Amino acid sequence: QVQVVESGGGLVQPGGSLRLSCAASGSSWSSDAMAWYRQAPGKQRELVADISRGGRITNYAASVKGRFTISRDNAKALVYLQMNSLKPEDTAVYYCNSVSRNYPWGQGTQVTVSF
C-alpha cells in the first residue's frame, strides 16, 4: 500500500514562497496521477492541483492558477508543490494523495501566510 509523507510547510509573509514535498512509498505510486489538496479551518478539503503519472499534464484550482506549480520526480518518488505569491487565504494544511484519493491520508503540512 502506498504511504505518503508531506513536508515543507511553515510560516511565510504574504507574497512569499514555499515548496512542499510529498514522499511516496509503494510500488504502485508511479502509475497514479497525483494531487495536492488543502483544508483550511472550518472548511472542506479541496483539490489544489493535480499531475498526470508522466508529469506532462497538470491542472490547477482557479484560486491558485498562475501562482502554484505541481511537479513530480518518479525516480525519487517525490511530488512537489511550488507556491509563489502566497496569500493569507492560502493558509491551510496541505496534503498529497492520488487523484482517486485512495491512499491513506498523511499528516499533512501546515502552511500559514501571515505578517
List, for residues 90-103, the tens digit of each pLDDT value. 999 999 999 988 89
Integer CA distances (angstroms), 77 to 38, 86, 91, in order? 21, 26, 26
Query: What pLDDT, on the 0 to 100 scale, is given for residue 26?
Result: 81
Cell reading at 93: 494544511
Over residues 16-41, the mean pLDDT reads: 92
The lowest-confidence range among 26-35, 55-64, 89-98, 106-115 is 26-35
End-to-end CA separation in angstroms for the chain: 40
Query: What pLDDT, on the 0 to 100 scale, is given for residue 28?
Result: 74
Over residues 4-25, the mean pLDDT reads: 97
List, for residues 57-84, the tens digit of each pLDDT value. 999 999 999 999 999 999 999 999 999 9
Return the SS3 of 89.
helix
Residue 27 pLDDT exceeds 90:
no
Q: What's the rounded Cα separation, in Å, for the pair 49 and 26?
A: 22
